[in-house]
Amino acid sequence: MSSNIDELVFLHQIAAPCHLAILAESIGLKTRIVKHAAELELEKQSNNFYLISQKGAALDSKGIPLLVSRLVEHVPVALYQVERGSLDQESALLLGVRGLLYSDQRMDLMLTGLRKMVSDELWYDRPLISKIFRRLVQQLDTSVEIPADTVAILQRLTSRERTIIQLVSSGARNKEIAQRLCISEHTVKAHISSIFRKTESRNRVELLRWAQTYQSHCELVS
């Protein structure tokens, strides 16, 4: 099959054979299997697509492999061998994961999912995509004019800082944020200090009030 993907890279950390790689090869895709996360090489010049197995991976509170939040900023990523009910699909979609392939899925559906994802399409349940799309449209429709100084604050916030604001708003503590973003707690504290300064918040309570007021704008800017 024709695809703009050079190679599918599978992070497969369990002893069992990687059946999905065999399936991918059967439709003409070049594959490479990596056993350890440390062996992943993010070649920026290539058009590789990364598939991370949920099984055998260290997971965050949403059931998403911790490694994913670091990868999605640089390369296309999807998850496979996902156990149903063990992962928050909405969080995965909003994080930037291209799709989910479940361990109990029929082979023909996995094949369809692979084809769609390497063709730069999302592979999620249609109701979920519709729900997210409706929410974004609603945010655009109900968008209120915001003060110029707030616009300036939103523009000064980095993508990582906006992500941390959303995690703080969801109740995540520094340790959880560090695990989710694969950074140290010290780095999280430095980011939060910068966020307090930029949003003129003295503490988390004031930051939460600020985030609730401008949450939709933060999400759209990010």
pLDDT in tens, 12-31: 988 888 899 998 998 888 99
Q: Is the pLDDT of residue 69 over 90?
A: no
pTM for the structure as a whole: 0.62
Under the banding of pLDDT at 50, 70 and 90, the label for residue 113 is very high
CATH H-level, domain 7-139: superfamily: Response regulator (3.40.50.2300)
Strand-pair category, 7-11 with 100-102: unpaired
- Rounded CA separation 147/10 (Å): 47
- Rounded CA separation 176/166 (Å): 13
- Across the range 120-136, mean pLDDT stands at 85
pLDDT for the residue numbered 220: 45
Find the angle CA(9)-CA(10)-CA(11) to the nearest 5 degrees.
120
Highest mean pLDDT among 71-75, 80-84, 126-130: 80-84
Under the banding of pLDDT at 50, 70 and 90, the label for residue 36 is confident
Rounded to whole angstroms, the maximal C-alpha distance in the chain is: 57
- Across the range 170-174, mean pLDDT stands at 85
- Across the range 210-216, mean pLDDT stands at 72
pLDDT for the residue numbered 85: 92
- In degrees and rounded to multiples of 5, residue 55 shows phi and psi of -70, 125
Whose CA is closest to 58, among 67, 49, 69, 50? 67
Whose CA is closest to 210, among 197, 220, 222? 197
Under the banding of pLDDT at 50, 70 and 90, the label for residue 9 is very high
Q: Is the pLDDT of residue 52 over 60?
A: yes
- Across the range 209-220, mean pLDDT stands at 66
pLDDT for the residue numbered 143: 52
Q: Is the pLDDT of residue 39 over 80?
A: no
Which one has a higher pLDDT value, 92 or 218? 92
Classify domain 148-219 at the CATH topology level. Arc Repressor Mutant, subunit A (1.10.10)
pLDDT for the residue numbered 64: 94
Q: Is the pLDDT of residue 208 over 80?
A: yes
- Rounded CA separation 54/45 (Å): 27
- Rounded CA separation 21/101 (Å): 13
Q: Is the pLDDT of residue 62 over 60?
A: yes
Q: Where are the domains of the chain?
A: 7-139, 148-219
Alpha carbon of 3 to those of 6, 32, 109, 206, 214: distances in Å?
A: 8, 16, 18, 49, 40
pLDDT for the residue numbered 13: 87
Beta-carbon-side half-sphere exposure of residue 120 (alpha carbons within 13 Å): 5
Number of Cβ within 10 Å of residue 198's Cβ equals 17
